[in-house]
C-alpha cells in the first residue's frame, strides 16, 4: 500500500464519503435521486480535472451492483468499443441490469468511434457514462448527446478543499501516524485550483520531502517543494489549465516567445490539438477582435487545417497562428460590448422593439404602425440615414466603444461622421 498514491488511497467508496458536487449528489439532489431509483440513464459528466468524475462513476456502479467496464479515449479504438459491447451482451440475461461502460475523456473519441456506441446505448445493451473536461456540445456528436443527460461538475471550493485536507490527515493510514502541523493553507489551495487530486498530490509531495519527526507545512514550504518537484507535479497533465492560461495570457500580452513556449509545452504533453485551436479562435475574437479582424479568419482556418492535417505537421499551423495572434494589435471592444449588452438586457428586461423597425408582413400590422416611417439606408447618400434602432428607453445608449488602435480608429471616425453627436467617442 505504501506505493499507492494518496489520492488513490483516499478515493471514496460511497456517496456519503464523496467530497463536493452537492448540487448533484447531496440530499435530494438530482443525480442522487436517479441513483436511488436504480433507473440510471446514460449520461456525461462534464467538469475540470480532479473533481471526481471517475470516482463518481465507480461509486454509482458499486451502489447499483452493475458490471463496470472502463475505456480511456486516449488509447481505445472502435475495436475496443465493439469488444466492450460484446462483453456487455454476454452479461445480459433475465432481469439483470445492463452493465455500465465508463469512457474517460470521451471528447477525444472521433465521430466514428462515437457512432459505434449509438446502437448499444439506444438498445440498452450498456449504460454509458462519459467523462469530459470539454463542452459536450462541441465534442460529442448530437445523436449520442441526445441520448445522454449531461451533469456539470464544479471545481472544489475552499470549504470542500478544507474538508478533503482534514479527511486526508485524519483517515489516511500513512498520514495519521505522522506529526503534521499545517500553519498556512493558502498556497495549498491556490496551487490545487479546485482540483482534489492535485491538492492530495501536493500534500503528499510536501510530506514525503520532510525528514524530521515534526512536519510543518506553510505557504513557503509548499511553494519551494513544488518548484523542486515540478516534473512529478506535471507528469499526468495536472497543469492543463495553468498552462493554457499561461498560453492565452502570453498571446494577450503580445509575447510570441512565451506563447510558442507554452504551445510547445502543451504539444509535448500530448494536449489535444483541437483544444488548443479552439482557444486560439476564442483569443482571436476576445483579445484581438476589431483591432485586426483577419485574426479570427486565420484562427478559424487554423482550426480547420489541423483537423485535416493532424500531427505532427499540425504543430506548424498552430505555431503560425499563435505567433500571428501574439504579434497582432489588441482590442477587447467586441468582448466588452456583448458583456455590456447582455448586462443591459438583464437590467432592463424585454423592452419593446420600436414600431418603425418592426416587420410588417400583414395589413393588420401595417395598420398598427409596424414599419411606419422606416428609412431604408440604401436609399440615401452613403447608404446611411440617421434614425433610432434601440428601444425608446435606451435612445443614445453607447454599448460599443472603439479602442485606440489602427483598425478601430477608422471605425471610430466613420461612426462620428455618421452619427455626429448621437454617439460620442
**Which residues of the chain carry a pLDDT beneath 50?**
1, 231-238
CATH of 240-326, one of 1.20.272.10, 3.30.300.130, 1.10.1740.110, 3.40.640.10: 1.20.272.10
The radius of gyration of the chain from alpha carbons, rounded to an integer in Å, stands at 27
Which residue has cell 462519459? 130
Which segments of 68-126 does DSSP mark as H helices, in order?
A: 78-90, 111-123
**Grid coordinates representing 23?**
448540487
The H-or-E segment that residue 302 falls in is: helix 294-309
The full set of domain ranges for the chain reads 21-152, 158-234, 240-326, 353-422
Q: Rounded distance, CA 222 to CA 207, Å? A: 10
Residues 17, 152, 271: CA angle, nearest 5 degrees:
100
Assess whether the region 21-152 and the region 240-326 belong to the same CATH fold. Answer: no
Contacts of residue 112, Cβ cutoff 8 Å, sequence gap at least 6: 78
Q: Kindly report, residue by residue over 371-405, the tens digit of the pLDDT.
A: 788 888 888 888 888 888 788 888 878 888 888 88
> Which CATH code for domain 21-152?
3.40.50.300
Q: Rounded distance, CA 288 to CA 282, Å? A: 10
Q: Rounded distance, CA 241 to CA 291, Å? A: 27
pLDDT value of position 237: 47
For residue 250, the tally of other CB atoms under 10 A from its CB is: 21
- End-to-end, the C-alpha distance of the chain in Å comes to 67
* Cis before 304 (ω within 30): no
Q: Kindly report, residue by residue over 219-248, the tens digit of the pLDDT.
A: 888 887 876 655 443 434 445 677 888 899
pLDDT value of position 233: 39
For residue 255, the tally of other CB atoms under 10 A from its CB is: 15
Which residue has cell 475523456? 105
Residues 271, 273, 275: CA angle, nearest 5 degrees:
80
**What is the architecture of the domain spanning 158-234?**
Orthogonal Bundle (1.10)
Q: Rounded distance, CA 371 to CA 368, Å? A: 9
pLDDT value of position 283: 95
Amino acid at each position: 500500500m505504501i506505493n499507492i498514491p494518496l489520492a488513490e488511497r483516499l478515493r471514496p467508496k460511497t456517496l456519503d464519503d464523496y467530497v463536493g458536487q452537492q448540487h448533484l449528489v447531496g440530499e435530494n439532489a438530482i443525480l442522487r435521486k436517479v441513483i436511488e431509483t436504480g433507473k440510471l440513464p446514460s449520461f456525461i459528466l462534464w467538469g475540470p480535472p480532479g473533481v471526481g468524475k471517475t470516482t463518481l462513476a465507480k461509486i454509482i456502479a458499486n451502489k447499483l451492483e452493475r458490471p463496470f467496464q472502463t475505456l480511456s479515449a486516449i488509447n481505445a479504438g472502435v475495436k475496443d468499443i465493439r469488444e466492450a459491447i460484446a462483453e456487455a451482451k454476454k452479461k445480459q440475461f433475465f432481469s439483470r441490469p445492463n452493465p455500465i461502460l465508463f469512457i474517460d475523456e470521451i471528447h477525444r473519441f472521433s465521430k466514428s468511434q462515437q457512432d459505434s456506441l449509438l446502437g448499444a446505448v439506444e438498445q440498452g445493451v450498456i449504460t454509458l457514462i462519459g467523462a469530459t473536461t470539454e463542452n459536450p456540445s462541441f465534442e460529442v456528436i448530437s445523436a449520442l448527446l441526445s441520448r445522454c443527460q449531461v451533469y456539470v461538475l464544479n471545481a472544489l471550493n475552499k470549504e470542500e478543499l478544507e474538508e478533503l485536507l482534514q479527511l486526508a490527515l485524519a483517515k489516511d493510514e500513512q498520514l495519521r501516524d505522522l506529526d503534521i502541523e499545517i500553519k498556512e493553507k493558502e498556497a495549498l489551495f491556490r496551487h490545487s485550483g479546485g482540483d482534489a487530486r492535485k491538492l492530495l498530490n501536493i500534500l503528499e509531495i510536501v510530506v514525503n520531502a520532510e525528514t524530521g519527526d515534526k512536519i510543518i507545512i506553510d505557504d513557503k514550504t509548499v511553494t519551494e517543494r513544488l518548484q523542486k518537484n515540478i516534473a512529478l507535479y506535471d507528469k499526468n497533465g495536472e497543469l492543463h489549465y495553468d498552462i493554457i492560461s499561461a498560453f492565452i495570457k502570453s498571446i494577450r500580452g503580445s509575447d510570441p516567445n512565451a506563447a510558442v513556449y507554452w504551445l510547445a509545452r502543451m504539444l509535448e504533453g500530448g494536449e489535444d490539438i483541437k483544444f488548443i485551436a479552439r482557444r486560439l479562435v476564442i483569443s482571436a475574437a476576445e483579445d484581438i477582435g476589431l483591432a485586426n479582424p483577419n485574426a479570427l479568419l486565420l484562427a478559424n482556418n487554423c482550426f480547420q487545417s489541423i483537423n485535416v492535417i493532424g500531427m505532427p505537421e499540425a504543430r506548424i499551423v498552430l505555431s503560425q497562428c499563435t505567433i500571428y495572434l501574439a504579434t497582432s494589435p489588441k482590442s477587447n471592444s467586441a468582448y466588452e460590448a456583448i458583456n455590456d449588452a447582455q448586462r443591459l438586457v438583464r437590467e432592463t428586461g424585454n423592452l419593446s422593439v420600436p414600431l418603425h423597425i418592426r416587420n410588417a408582413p400583414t395589413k393588420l400590422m401595417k395598420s398598427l404602425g409596424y414599419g411606419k416611417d422606416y428609412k431604408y439606408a440604401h436609399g440615401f447618400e452613403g447608404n446611411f440615414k440617421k434614425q433610432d434602432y434601440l428601444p425608446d428607453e435606451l435612445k443614445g445608449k453607447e454599448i460599443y466603444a472603439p479602442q485606440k488602435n489602427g483598425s478601430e480608429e477608422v471605425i471610430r471616425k466613420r461612426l462620428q461622421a455618421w452619427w455626429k453627436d448621437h454617439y460620442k467617442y
